[in-house]
A and B are shown apart, each in its own frame.
Chain A
């Protein structure tokens, strides 16, 4: 199965996605990663828990994959393979997630 990479870097939202379900599912997964937990008023558990950003880096890395698995419950077509967190030159944490997409039919 093909694997794809999504990150928490901001990008333009493609509303059309050329009717490509794979691209749309990847974008759904990225949107979930970019959503902050508590931001959605009718679904307060949806999104990434930003409390992880306040943990020491080694503890954050230990807690990252379970949190990404929880976040991707909202996109069941996506299976999380691995997740890494790396600080960039500005001190921001860049999260990189490798996912597989499998459609249930």
Chain B
């Protein structure tokens, strides 16, 4: 297979027509620690994980099939300046599950045509990537609004620990047929089976609401989400 790796439309490959190879590939993972003392013995405790880092050097050479060395090198520099994020694929798999942001591009070993500095023959570009925000799927929201809460779901629906609430909840849903269908957040009115359940399990609140609408990546407009009700327990 010719292609070694790819990122944001840049392909790194070795083929009869083009050699754009990479070297010194490094993948780094680390965490931030806190030193504590207990019983006269120091120990390290993990605070949080640091962003994964990938770095490698790309060899661009017009003699090896790269048509415009200068513009490719400057593309990397501009993308580093803008902090472009995309998945980094090594072979046919992602090297890191999250998107990688290009944080640094260093152009070195520049060689130009004799008498014409505008025409680049070859250069090396050292690229450094850091793990980017995955839109809330890496444990926290991008804007720092707090950690993502994972509902305790299973393929069979609500888990056993919520069995009793489920029974009362379904009765409440039958009592209020329009709940959850009008697009607004509804709370159970007093006197319904659901609110009685809320009183029985006073530490929990039951809300009926639509699934979140999602935005169409092409147009940016909201897409109609599912119309099912969602059970949320807050403790």
Chain A residues with CB under 8 Å of chain B are: 18-24, 43, 45-46, 58-59, 61-62, 64-66, 69, 73-74, 76, 79, 81-84, 102-105
25 pairs, CB–CB < 8 Å, chain A vs chain B: A18-B156, A18-B157, A19-B157, A20-B157, A21-B151, A21-B211, A43-B218, A62-B91, A62-B92, A64-B92, A74-B217, A76-B135, A79-B134, A79-B137, A81-B94, A81-B97, A82-B93, A83-B92, A102-B137, A102-B150, A103-B148, A103-B150, A104-B137, A104-B212, A105-B151
Pairwise interchain contact A43-B157, C-beta atoms closer than 8 A: no
Residues of B within 8 A of A24 (CB): 226, 228
In the complex, what residue of chain B is closest to A80 when comparing beta carbons?
B94
Residues of B within 8 A of A69 (CB): 87
- Supposing A74-B217, A79-B97, A105-B148 touch, asked if A21 and B153 sit within 8 A by C-beta, the answer is yes
Pairwise interchain contact A65-B153, C-beta atoms closer than 8 A: no
The answer for the CA separation of A83 and B87 in the assembled complex, in Å, is 14
Distance in Å: Cβ of B171 to nearest Cβ of chain A: 15
Chain B residues with CB under 8 Å of chain A are: 1, 3, 6, 87, 89, 91-94, 97, 134-137, 141, 148-151, 153-157, 211-212, 214, 216-219, 226, 228-230
Residues of A within 8 A of B228 (CB): 19, 21, 24
- Supposing A79-B97, A105-B149 touch, asked if A19 and B229 sit within 8 A by C-beta, the answer is yes
4 interchain residue pairs of minimum CB distance: A73-B217, A104-B136, A62-B3, A102-B137
Residues of A within 8 A of B218 (CB): 43, 45-46
Pairwise interchain contact A43-B155, C-beta atoms closer than 8 A: no
Distance in Å: Cβ of A100 to nearest Cβ of chain B: 8
The answer for the CA separation of A84 and B153 in the assembled complex, in Å, is 28
Distance in Å: Cβ of B69 to nearest Cβ of chain A: 24
Interface of B is mostly: loop
Contact of B153 among A22, A45, A58 (CB under 8 A): A22
The answer for the CA separation of A58 and B87 in the assembled complex, in Å, is 20
Pairwise interchain contact B1-A104, C-beta atoms closer than 8 A: no
Residues of A within 8 A of B148 (CB): 102-105
Pairwise interchain contact A65-B89, C-beta atoms closer than 8 A: yes
Pairwise interchain contact B141-A65, C-beta atoms closer than 8 A: no
Residues of A within 8 A of B157 (CB): 18-20
Pairwise interchain contact A104-B229, C-beta atoms closer than 8 A: no
Residues of B within 8 A of A84 (CB): 92
- Supposing A66-B6, A69-B87, A76-B214 touch, asked if A20 and B1 sit within 8 A by C-beta, the answer is no
Pairwise interchain contact B156-A65, C-beta atoms closer than 8 A: no
Residues of A within 8 A of B229 (CB): 19
Distance in Å: Cβ of B137 to nearest Cβ of chain A: 5
- Supposing A19-B228, A43-B219, A102-B137 touch, asked if A66 and B87 sit within 8 A by C-beta, the answer is yes
In the complex, what residue of chain B is closest to A83 when comparing beta carbons?
B92
The answer for the CA separation of A83 and B148 in the assembled complex, in Å, is 26
Distance in Å: Cβ of B151 to nearest Cβ of chain A: 7
Residues of A within 8 A of B155 (CB): 20, 22-23
